[in-house]
């Protein structure tokens, strides 16, 4: 029995190490703040670890983890925690390191994009992040958000329309994501 637990722990550790950068990027885009993103990923992984026997055996453990993260973020948002993408004094913060191929890292003005994302309502931000930066299908995003495909389409379209309306971001949105 001890070997089974050790194997599960090793599987979980391998999963976390392999997915950490992507989980952090998603959490950062959802919360807009490095420390909040770290807290979100940590609390998500705590919940997942408890159920790892079931999660690790699932067809798509990453989809399960993503759903837990979206739910945890939505719960925090419902409690009306304020989120900041650009703290007034961010000189001491460690910056997120984008992995290669990250569309946000390719944007000319990343801080403008992050500020624009901060202006979106939570559900629109979730839909935009999952569809355009995580590159999920509408069905996968709907599963992660716990809503219908139509809701994902609507929220993503509204979010992208708001981003396009911001001067200087139209080119980034049009060329950086799907049309």
Confidence of residue 85 (pLDDT cuts 50, 70, 90): very low
In angstroms, the CA 157 to CA 155 distance is 5
Q: What is the pLDDT of residues 121-178, one digit of tens each?
A: 989 999 999 998 888 999 999 999 999 999 999 999 999 999 888 876 665 545 544 4
In angstroms, the CA 50 to CA 153 distance is 33
DSSP string, 114-159: HHHHHHS-HHHHHHHIIIIIS---HHHHHHHHTS-HHHHHHHHHHH
pLDDT of the residue at 82: 47
pLDDT of the residue at 81: 44
pLDDT of the residue at 91: 52
Q: What is the pLDDT of residues 33-62, one digit of tens each?
A: 899 999 999 999 999 999 888 888 778 888
Cα 63 to chain centroid distance, Å, stands at 12
Neighbours of 108 (CB within 10 A): 11
Alpha helices in the chain (DSSP H): 2-31, 34-50, 52-56, 61-78, 103-106, 110-119, 122-128, 138-145, 149-164, 170-176
86 pLDDT higher than 50: no
pLDDT of the residue at 113: 78
Cα 55 to chain centroid distance, Å, stands at 19
pLDDT of the residue at 4: 72
In angstroms, the CA 80 to CA 108 distance is 31
179 pLDDT higher than 70: no
In angstroms, the CA 134 to CA 111 distance is 19
- Compute the mean pLDDT over every residue in the chain, rounded to the nearest whole number: 79
């Amino acid at each position: 029995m001890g070997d089974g637990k050790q194997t599960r722990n090793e599987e979980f550790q391998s999963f976390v190490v392999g997915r950490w950068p992507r989980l952090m990027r998603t959490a950062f885009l959802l919360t807009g703040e490095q420390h909040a993103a770290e807290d979100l990923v940590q609390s998500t992984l705590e919940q997942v670890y408890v159920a790892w026997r079931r999660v690790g055996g699932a067809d798509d453990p990453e989809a399960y983890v993503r759903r837990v993260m979206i739910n945890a973020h939505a719960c925090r948002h419902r409690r009306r925690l304020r989120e900041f993408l650009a703290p007034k004094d961010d000189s001491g913060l460690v910056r997120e390191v984008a992995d290669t191929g990250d569309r946000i890292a390719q944007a000319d003005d990343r801080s403008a994009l992050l500020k624009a994302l901060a202006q979106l309502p939570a559900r629109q931000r979730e839909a935009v992040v999952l569809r355009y930066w995580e590159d999920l299908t509408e069905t996968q995003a709907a599963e992660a958000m716990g809503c219908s495909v139509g809701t994902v389409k609507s929220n993503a379209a509204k979010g992208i329309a708001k981003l396009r309306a911001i001067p200087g971001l139209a080119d980034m949105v049009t060329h950086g994501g799907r049309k």
